[in-house]
Protein backbone atom coordinates (compact mmCIF):
# COMPACT_ATOMS: atom_id res chain seq x y z
CA UNK A 1 0.00 0.00 0.00
CA UNK A 2 1.14 3.54 -0.76
CA UNK A 3 -0.06 5.51 2.25
CA UNK A 4 1.19 8.72 3.93
CA UNK A 5 3.99 8.10 6.40
CA UNK A 6 3.07 9.01 10.00
CA UNK A 7 5.39 11.10 12.12
CA UNK A 8 7.54 9.59 14.87
CA UNK A 9 5.12 10.44 17.68
CA UNK A 10 2.21 8.78 15.86
CA UNK A 11 4.34 5.71 15.16
CA UNK A 12 5.34 5.47 18.81
CA UNK A 13 1.70 5.66 19.87
CA UNK A 14 0.77 2.91 17.40
CA UNK A 15 3.60 0.70 18.61
CA UNK A 16 2.44 1.17 22.20
CA UNK A 17 -1.07 0.13 21.20
CA UNK A 18 0.27 -2.89 19.30
CA UNK A 19 2.12 -3.97 22.45
CA UNK A 20 -1.07 -3.53 24.50
CA UNK A 21 -3.07 -5.66 22.04
CA UNK A 22 -0.33 -8.32 21.93
CA UNK A 23 -0.36 -8.50 25.74
CA UNK A 24 -4.15 -8.92 25.65
CA UNK A 25 -3.75 -11.77 23.17
CA UNK A 26 -1.14 -13.44 25.39
CA UNK A 27 -3.49 -13.24 28.38
CA UNK A 28 -6.25 -14.98 26.38
CA UNK A 29 -4.44 -18.15 25.33
CA UNK A 30 -2.99 -16.65 22.17
CA UNK A 31 -6.09 -15.27 20.42
CA UNK A 32 -8.81 -12.64 20.83
CA UNK A 33 -11.92 -11.99 18.78
CA UNK A 34 -11.64 -9.47 15.98
CA UNK A 35 -14.37 -7.49 17.75
CA UNK A 36 -12.03 -7.13 20.74
CA UNK A 37 -9.11 -6.20 18.45
CA UNK A 38 -11.27 -3.55 16.78
CA UNK A 39 -12.47 -2.26 20.16
CA UNK A 40 -8.89 -1.80 21.35
CA UNK A 41 -7.71 -0.32 18.05
CA UNK A 42 -10.47 2.29 18.16
CA UNK A 43 -11.13 2.86 21.86
CA UNK A 44 -8.17 1.79 24.05
CA UNK A 45 -7.76 4.63 26.59
CA UNK A 46 -5.32 7.25 25.32
CA UNK A 47 -4.11 5.10 22.39
CA UNK A 48 -7.13 4.06 20.32
CA UNK A 49 -8.11 5.86 17.17
CA UNK A 50 -11.04 7.64 18.80
CA UNK A 51 -9.46 8.10 22.22
CA UNK A 52 -6.07 9.38 21.10
CA UNK A 53 -5.29 12.96 20.21
CA UNK A 54 -5.08 12.95 16.40
CA UNK A 55 -7.57 14.89 14.29
CA UNK A 56 -10.27 12.61 12.85
CA UNK A 57 -12.46 14.78 10.63
CA UNK A 58 -11.96 17.30 7.86
CA UNK A 59 -9.00 18.02 5.61
CA UNK A 60 -6.49 17.22 8.36
CA UNK A 61 -8.24 14.00 9.35
CA UNK A 62 -9.25 10.78 7.67
CA UNK A 63 -12.76 11.37 6.34
CA UNK A 64 -15.53 13.95 5.93
CA UNK A 65 -19.06 13.36 7.24
CA UNK A 66 -22.37 14.81 6.07
CA UNK A 67 -22.56 17.58 8.71
CA UNK A 68 -19.18 18.86 7.53
CA UNK A 69 -20.44 19.12 3.96
CA UNK A 70 -23.30 21.54 4.62
CA UNK A 71 -25.34 23.07 7.42
CA UNK A 72 -28.39 22.05 5.37
CA UNK A 73 -27.93 18.52 6.74
CA UNK A 74 -28.37 19.62 10.35
CA UNK A 75 -31.17 22.00 9.43
CA UNK A 76 -33.05 19.13 7.75
CA UNK A 77 -32.61 16.95 10.84
CA UNK A 78 -33.98 19.83 12.92
CA UNK A 79 -37.10 19.79 10.73
CA UNK A 80 -37.66 16.17 11.79
CA UNK A 81 -36.62 16.59 15.42
CA UNK A 82 -39.07 19.44 16.08
CA UNK A 83 -42.33 17.47 15.61
CA UNK A 84 -40.86 14.44 17.39
CA UNK A 85 -39.93 16.56 20.40
CA UNK A 86 -43.43 18.07 20.36
CA UNK A 87 -44.75 14.54 20.89
CA UNK A 88 -42.20 13.60 23.56
CA UNK A 89 -39.88 16.09 25.29
CA UNK A 90 -37.68 19.08 24.29
CA UNK A 91 -34.50 17.06 24.59
CA UNK A 92 -31.90 15.68 22.16
CA UNK A 93 -29.18 13.10 22.81
CA UNK A 94 -26.46 12.75 20.21
CA UNK A 95 -24.00 9.88 20.05
CA UNK A 96 -20.59 10.51 18.49
CA UNK A 97 -21.02 14.21 17.78
CA UNK A 98 -17.86 14.63 15.69
CA UNK A 99 -16.66 18.23 15.63
CA UNK A 100 -19.94 19.43 17.14
CA UNK A 101 -21.07 20.92 13.85
CA UNK A 102 -24.22 18.80 13.61
CA UNK A 103 -25.27 19.82 17.13
CA UNK A 104 -24.58 23.47 16.36
CA UNK A 105 -26.51 23.34 13.09
CA UNK A 106 -29.48 21.54 14.65
CA UNK A 107 -29.65 23.92 17.61
CA UNK A 108 -29.23 26.98 15.40
CA UNK A 109 -32.01 25.84 13.05
CA UNK A 110 -34.38 25.00 15.91
CA UNK A 111 -33.72 28.36 17.59
CA UNK A 112 -34.40 30.18 14.31
CA UNK A 113 -37.76 28.39 14.10
CA UNK A 114 -38.59 29.18 17.72
CA UNK A 115 -38.40 25.55 18.86
CA UNK A 116 -37.05 25.28 22.43
CA UNK A 117 -34.50 22.61 23.35
CA UNK A 118 -34.16 22.31 27.11
CA UNK A 119 -31.32 19.78 26.97
CA UNK A 120 -28.84 18.67 24.30
CA UNK A 121 -26.71 15.84 25.67
CA UNK A 122 -23.70 14.36 23.89
CA UNK A 123 -21.99 11.03 24.44
CA UNK A 124 -18.48 11.20 23.00
CA UNK A 125 -15.62 8.76 23.59
CA UNK A 126 -12.94 10.83 21.86
CA UNK A 127 -11.24 13.37 24.11
CA UNK A 128 -9.96 15.28 21.08
CA UNK A 129 -13.43 15.50 19.56
CA UNK A 130 -15.08 16.36 22.89
CA UNK A 131 -12.70 19.33 23.22
CA UNK A 132 -13.62 20.49 19.72
CA UNK A 133 -17.30 20.10 20.53
CA UNK A 134 -16.99 22.14 23.72
CA UNK A 135 -15.41 24.98 21.77
CA UNK A 136 -17.95 24.80 18.93
CA UNK A 137 -20.92 24.71 21.31
CA UNK A 138 -19.81 27.16 24.00
CA UNK A 139 -22.68 29.51 23.10
CA UNK A 140 -25.34 26.87 23.78
CA UNK A 141 -25.81 26.54 27.55
CA UNK A 142 -28.21 23.58 27.25
CA UNK A 143 -25.43 21.34 25.91
CA UNK A 144 -23.87 18.85 28.32
CA UNK A 145 -21.65 15.80 27.97
CA UNK A 146 -22.37 12.34 29.33
CA UNK A 147 -20.07 9.41 30.05
CA UNK A 148 -22.81 6.75 29.95
CA UNK A 149 -26.39 6.15 28.88
CA UNK A 150 -28.89 8.07 31.02
CA UNK A 151 -31.15 5.81 33.04
CA UNK A 152 -34.17 7.21 31.20
CA UNK A 153 -34.68 9.56 28.27
CA UNK A 154 -37.60 11.09 26.40
CA UNK A 155 -36.96 13.04 23.21
CA UNK A 156 -34.87 12.57 20.06
CA UNK A 157 -31.68 10.53 19.70
CA UNK A 158 -29.28 11.31 16.83
CA UNK A 159 -26.53 8.94 15.70
CA UNK A 160 -24.78 9.89 12.45
CA UNK A 161 -22.09 7.40 11.37
CA UNK A 162 -21.97 5.75 14.79
CA UNK A 163 -23.06 2.17 14.08
CA UNK A 164 -20.35 1.62 11.45
CA UNK A 165 -17.62 2.25 14.05
CA UNK A 166 -18.92 -0.39 16.47
CA UNK A 167 -16.80 -3.56 16.70
CA UNK A 168 -17.89 -6.44 14.47
CA UNK A 169 -17.24 -10.16 14.50
CA UNK A 170 -15.62 -11.55 11.34
CA UNK A 171 -16.85 -14.94 10.15
CA UNK A 172 -15.85 -17.08 7.17
CA UNK A 173 -17.40 -20.16 5.67
CA UNK A 174 -14.91 -23.02 5.50
CA UNK A 175 -15.90 -26.48 4.21
CA UNK A 176 -19.56 -25.68 4.70
CA UNK A 177 -19.16 -24.50 8.31
CA UNK A 178 -18.91 -20.99 9.75
CA UNK A 179 -15.68 -20.12 11.51
CA UNK A 180 -14.90 -17.00 13.51
CA UNK A 181 -11.71 -15.20 12.46
CA UNK A 182 -9.83 -14.36 15.63
CA UNK A 183 -6.58 -12.41 15.95
CA UNK A 184 -3.30 -13.96 17.08
CA UNK A 185 0.39 -13.04 16.88
CA UNK A 186 2.79 -14.87 14.56
CA UNK A 187 6.45 -13.87 14.34
CA UNK A 188 5.71 -10.52 15.93
CA UNK A 189 2.84 -9.65 13.56
CA UNK A 190 -0.93 -9.84 13.95
CA UNK A 191 -2.45 -12.73 12.02
CA UNK A 192 -5.79 -14.49 11.57
CA UNK A 193 -6.71 -17.66 13.45
CA UNK A 194 -10.03 -19.38 12.58
CA UNK A 195 -11.96 -21.07 15.38
CA UNK A 196 -15.38 -22.56 16.03
CA UNK A 197 -17.80 -19.78 17.04
CA UNK A 198 -19.24 -19.94 20.53
CA UNK A 199 -22.98 -20.41 21.06
CA UNK A 200 -23.76 -16.68 21.20
CA UNK A 201 -21.94 -15.93 17.94
CA UNK A 202 -23.44 -18.99 16.23
CA UNK A 203 -26.89 -17.71 17.20
CA UNK A 204 -26.00 -14.25 15.83
CA UNK A 205 -24.89 -15.79 12.52
CA UNK A 206 -28.12 -17.76 12.25
CA UNK A 207 -30.19 -14.70 13.15
CA UNK A 208 -28.39 -12.23 10.91
CA UNK A 209 -27.38 -14.00 7.68
CA UNK A 210 -30.30 -15.06 5.48
CA UNK A 211 -29.74 -18.25 3.46
CA UNK A 212 -26.38 -18.71 5.18
CA UNK A 213 -26.23 -22.34 4.05
CA UNK A 214 -26.34 -21.27 0.40
CA UNK A 215 -23.32 -18.97 0.54
CA UNK A 216 -20.11 -20.38 -0.99
CA UNK A 217 -17.04 -21.60 0.87
CA UNK A 218 -14.52 -18.84 1.45
CA UNK A 219 -17.28 -16.30 2.01
CA UNK A 220 -16.08 -13.68 4.53
CA UNK A 221 -18.44 -11.25 6.20
CA UNK A 222 -19.29 -9.39 9.40
CA UNK A 223 -22.00 -9.81 12.00
CA UNK A 224 -22.90 -7.04 14.41
CA UNK A 225 -23.55 -8.17 18.01
CA UNK A 226 -22.20 -4.93 19.52
CA UNK A 227 -24.41 -2.69 17.37
CA UNK A 228 -27.41 -4.89 18.13
CA UNK A 229 -26.59 -4.53 21.81
CA UNK A 230 -26.43 -0.75 21.39
CA UNK A 231 -29.97 -0.80 19.96
CA UNK A 232 -31.07 -2.79 23.01
CA UNK A 233 -29.50 -0.16 25.27
CA UNK A 234 -31.40 2.57 23.41
CA UNK A 235 -34.64 0.67 24.03
CA UNK A 236 -33.92 0.34 27.75
CA UNK A 237 -33.08 4.05 27.94
CA UNK A 238 -36.33 5.02 26.24
CA UNK A 239 -38.10 2.64 28.62
CA UNK A 240 -41.84 3.20 28.65
CA UNK A 241 -41.50 6.86 27.66
CA UNK A 242 -41.80 8.57 24.30
CA UNK A 243 -39.09 9.29 21.79
CA UNK A 244 -37.30 8.27 18.62
CA UNK A 245 -33.76 7.46 17.52
CA UNK A 246 -32.61 8.57 14.07
CA UNK A 247 -29.73 6.36 12.93
CA UNK A 248 -27.87 7.45 9.78
CA UNK A 249 -25.10 5.34 8.29
CA UNK A 250 -23.86 3.52 5.23
CA UNK A 251 -25.09 -0.01 4.78
CA UNK A 252 -27.73 -2.32 3.35
CA UNK A 253 -30.68 -4.47 4.30
CA UNK A 254 -29.69 -8.11 4.84
CA UNK A 255 -30.79 -9.31 1.40
CA UNK A 256 -28.33 -6.83 -0.16
CA UNK A 257 -25.62 -7.18 2.48
CA UNK A 258 -25.00 -10.92 2.15
CA UNK A 259 -24.73 -11.32 -1.61
CA UNK A 260 -22.64 -13.99 -3.30
CA UNK A 261 -20.53 -11.32 -5.00
CA UNK A 262 -19.70 -9.65 -1.67
CA UNK A 263 -17.21 -12.43 -0.89
CA UNK A 264 -14.80 -10.28 1.08
CA UNK A 265 -17.28 -8.50 3.35
CA UNK A 266 -17.43 -4.75 3.86
CA UNK A 267 -14.68 -4.08 6.41
CA UNK A 268 -12.77 -0.94 5.44
CA UNK A 269 -10.06 1.24 6.98
CA UNK A 270 -9.59 4.99 6.54
CA UNK A 271 -6.22 6.67 6.97
CA UNK A 272 -5.75 10.32 6.03
CA UNK A 273 -8.37 10.20 3.25
CA UNK A 274 -7.07 6.87 1.92
CA UNK A 275 -9.36 3.83 2.07
CA UNK A 276 -7.90 0.32 2.27
CA UNK A 277 -8.89 -3.13 3.64
CA UNK A 278 -6.00 -3.88 6.06
CA UNK A 279 -7.16 -3.66 9.72
CA UNK A 280 -3.74 -4.60 11.13
CA UNK A 281 -2.04 -1.56 9.57
CA UNK A 282 -0.81 0.85 12.28
CA UNK A 283 -3.52 0.27 14.91
CA UNK A 284 -4.66 3.48 16.54
CA UNK A 285 -3.82 5.65 13.54
CA UNK A 286 -6.65 4.58 11.25
CA UNK A 287 -10.39 4.21 11.45
CA UNK A 288 -11.85 0.70 11.04
CA UNK A 289 -15.46 0.45 9.91
CA UNK A 290 -17.98 -1.99 8.49
CA UNK A 291 -21.21 -1.37 6.65
CA UNK A 292 -24.35 -1.65 8.74
CA UNK A 293 -26.84 -4.50 8.35
CA UNK A 294 -30.00 -2.46 8.79
CA UNK A 295 -32.21 -5.53 8.91
CA UNK A 296 -30.29 -6.71 11.98
CA UNK A 297 -30.68 -3.26 13.57
CA UNK A 298 -34.44 -3.24 12.93
CA UNK A 299 -34.84 -6.75 14.34
CA UNK A 300 -32.83 -5.78 17.43
CA UNK A 301 -35.12 -2.79 17.91
CA UNK A 302 -38.24 -4.92 17.61
CA UNK A 303 -36.80 -7.57 19.93
CA UNK A 304 -36.22 -4.84 22.52
CA UNK A 305 -39.76 -3.49 22.23
CA UNK A 306 -39.25 -0.50 19.95
CA UNK A 307 -41.29 0.31 16.85
CA UNK A 308 -39.59 0.56 13.47
CA UNK A 309 -40.95 3.93 12.35
CA UNK A 310 -39.16 4.19 9.01
CA UNK A 311 -36.29 3.01 6.84
CA UNK A 312 -35.15 4.72 3.65
CA UNK A 313 -32.08 5.99 1.85
CA UNK A 314 -30.56 9.30 2.87
CA UNK A 315 -31.83 11.09 -0.22
CA UNK A 316 -35.45 10.20 0.55
CA UNK A 317 -35.02 11.17 4.19
CA UNK A 318 -33.47 14.57 3.50
CA UNK A 319 -35.92 15.42 0.73
CA UNK A 320 -38.82 14.32 2.94
CA UNK A 321 -37.39 16.48 5.71
CA UNK A 322 -37.58 19.51 3.43
CA UNK A 323 -33.93 20.05 2.53
CA UNK A 324 -34.96 21.35 -0.90
CA UNK A 325 -37.06 24.09 0.69
CA UNK A 326 -34.20 24.89 3.05
CA UNK A 327 -31.91 25.40 0.07
CA UNK A 328 -34.35 27.94 -1.36
CA UNK A 329 -33.83 30.11 1.72
CA UNK A 330 -30.58 30.98 -0.06
CA UNK A 331 -31.27 33.43 -2.87
CA UNK A 332 -30.59 31.70 -6.24
CA UNK A 333 -29.77 35.12 -7.70
CA UNK A 334 -26.75 35.26 -5.36
CA UNK A 335 -24.53 32.57 -6.91
CA UNK A 336 -21.67 33.11 -4.43
CA UNK A 337 -23.94 31.91 -1.63
CA UNK A 338 -26.42 29.70 -3.45
CA UNK A 339 -24.17 27.56 -5.67
CA UNK A 340 -21.94 26.10 -2.89
CA UNK A 341 -25.07 25.07 -0.95
CA UNK A 342 -26.67 23.63 -4.08
CA UNK A 343 -23.52 21.63 -4.82
CA UNK A 344 -23.41 20.37 -1.22
CA UNK A 345 -27.05 19.32 -1.36
CA UNK A 346 -26.33 17.37 -4.54
CA UNK A 347 -23.55 15.48 -2.78
CA UNK A 348 -25.88 14.62 0.12
CA UNK A 349 -28.75 13.31 -2.02
CA UNK A 350 -27.25 12.14 -5.31
CA UNK A 351 -27.37 8.34 -5.79
CA UNK A 352 -23.82 8.55 -7.11
CA UNK A 353 -22.65 10.25 -3.90
CA UNK A 354 -24.20 9.75 -0.42
CA UNK A 355 -27.88 9.64 -1.31
CA UNK A 356 -28.22 5.89 -1.89
CA UNK A 357 -25.34 4.26 0.02
CA UNK A 358 -26.33 6.02 3.24
CA UNK A 359 -29.54 4.84 4.87
CA UNK A 360 -31.70 6.12 7.70
CA UNK A 361 -33.44 3.91 10.26
CA UNK A 362 -35.86 5.53 12.70
CA UNK A 363 -36.97 3.52 15.72
CA UNK A 364 -38.91 4.67 18.75
CA UNK A 365 -41.94 4.48 20.93
CA UNK A 366 -45.06 6.63 21.31
CA UNK A 367 -44.32 9.05 18.46
CA UNK A 368 -45.11 9.33 14.74
CA UNK A 369 -42.99 10.74 11.93
CA UNK A 370 -44.10 13.69 9.80
CA UNK A 371 -46.34 12.59 6.93
CA UNK A 372 -43.76 13.30 4.22
CA UNK A 373 -41.30 10.88 5.84
CA UNK A 374 -43.96 8.30 6.62
CA UNK A 375 -44.81 8.23 2.90
CA UNK A 376 -41.13 7.67 2.04
CA UNK A 377 -40.84 4.66 4.36
CA UNK A 378 -39.33 1.55 2.77
CA UNK A 379 -39.13 -0.64 5.85
CA UNK A 380 -40.78 -3.43 3.88
CA UNK A 381 -37.41 -3.80 2.12
CA UNK A 382 -35.75 -4.81 5.37
The whole-angstrom separation of Cα 84 and Cα 82 is 5
Average pLDDT over every residue of 323-339:
90
Q: What pLDDT is recorded for position 62?
A: 53
Task: Give the pLDDT confidence of 361-374 residue by residue, as tens digits.
Answer: 999 999 999 999 99
- 224-274 per-position pLDDT tens digit: 999 999 999 999 999 999 999 999 999 999 999 999 999 999 999 998 878
- pLDDT the model gives residue 54: 59
Q: What is the architecture of the domain spanning 66-166+226-257+291-381?
A: 3-Layer(aba) Sandwich (3.40)
* Residue 191 pLDDT class (50, 70, 90 cuts): very high
- Taking all residues of the chain, what is their mean pLDDT, rounded to a whole number? 94
Give the mean pLDDT of 64-73.
94
What pLDDT is stored for residue 64 in this prediction? 80
Q: Is the pLDDT of residue 60 over 70?
A: no
Residue 330 is predicted with a pLDDT of: 87
pLDDT: which is higher, 3 or 90:
90
Q: Give mean pLDDT, residues 212-233.
A: 96
Looking at residue 209, its pLDDT comes to: 95
Burial pattern 227-265, b for ≥16 Cβ within 10 A else e, equals bbebbbebbebbeeebbbbbbbbbbbbbeebbeeebeeb
Distances (CA, A) of 168 to 4, 229, 279, 332, 368: 27, 12, 12, 45, 31
Q: Is 366 exposed, middle or buried (0-12, 13-18, 19+ CB in 10 A)?
A: middle
CA distance 287 to 63: 9
Q: How confident is the model at residue 142 (pLDDT cuts 50, 70, 90)?
A: very high
Q: pTM for this one?
A: 0.95
Amino acid sequence: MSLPVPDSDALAASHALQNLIAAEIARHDGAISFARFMELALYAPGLGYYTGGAAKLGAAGDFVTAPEISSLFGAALAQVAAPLMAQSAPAILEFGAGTGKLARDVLTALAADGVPVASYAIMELSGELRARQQEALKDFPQVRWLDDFPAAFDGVVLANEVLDAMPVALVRKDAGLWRELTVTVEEGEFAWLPRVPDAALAAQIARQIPDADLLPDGYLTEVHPVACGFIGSLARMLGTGKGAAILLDYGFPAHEFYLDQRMGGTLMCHYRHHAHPEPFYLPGLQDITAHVDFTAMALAAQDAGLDVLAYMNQASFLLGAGIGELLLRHDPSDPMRYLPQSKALQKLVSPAEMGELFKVLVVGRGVALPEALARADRSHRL
